[in-house]
Structure 1
């Protein structure tokens, strides 16, 4: 299995436009995203996001949050744990929360999931997107499942 890990942030005139702009900033704005749960197959490899065919159906784990409250700091965080047998992904978000606390929360959750499955973590990656809201903003972090 191959995956790409991406993130983006942007403002827009509406919540939907801000979200769409953040997806575009992450490189996944021109595809149809299918949200899936958090499991990765054995020997998952991380790669750069290739150019995706516009309109294609793409599986992903998506962490996203949008705010229209100027001054808010918004965070989307993913933690990805990869082992030989399988891997897990967790997502969390926060508004005006300590970024380090959110990262620690994500790491704790993904470590717990792997321990519960008796799988040793070989690689642990954290991806985050953070911004301070000017008018209406959105942040996204995503694991994108790529075709082999």
Structure 2
């Protein structure tokens, strides 16, 4: 299994436009995202996001948050743990929570999922997007499942 881990942030004139702009900033704005649960195949490989065919259906784990409250700090976070038998991905997000706290929360959750399954972690990655809202802003972080 191959995945890419991406993040983005942007503002827009509406919440929907801000979200769409953040997806575009992450490189996944021109595809149809299908949210899936958090399981990855054995020995998953992490790759750079390739050029995705516009309009294609793309599976992903997606963390996102949007705010129209100027001054809010918003953060979207994903964490990925890869093992030989399987892998897990988690998402979390927050408003006015320290990004480090959200990173720790995501890391804790994905480690717990792997421990519960008795799978040794070979690689652990945490990625987030954070911004301070000027007018209307959105942030996204995503684990994108790539075609084999």
Structure 2: runs of 5 or more not aligned: none
2:141 is matched with: 141
Name the SS for the 2:62 alignment partner: strand
2:37 is matched with: 37
CA drift at 1:13: 0.1
Structure 1: runs of 5 or more not aligned: none
CA drift at 1:72: 0.2
Matched, 1:128 2:124: no
CA drift at 1:35: 0.2
Cα distance in 1, alignment partners of residues 119 and 41 from structure 2: 12
2:111 is matched with: 111
1:64 is matched with: 64
Provide TM-score, normalisation by structure 1: 0.99
CA drift at 1:91: 0.4
Cα distance in 2, alignment partners of residues 44 and 85 from structure 1: 9
Name the SS for the 1:55 alignment partner: coil
Runs of 4+ in 1 over 3 A off after TM superposition: none
RMSD: 0.4
Matched, 1:86 2:86: yes
Cα distance in 1, alignment partners of residues 104 and 144 from structure 2: 22
1:52 is matched with: 52
CA drift at 1:98: 1.2
Cα distance in 1, alignment partners of residues 128 and 87 from structure 2: 19
Cα distance in 2, alignment partners of residues 129 and 19 from structure 1: 13
Cα distance in 2, alignment partners of residues 61 and 81 from structure 1: 13
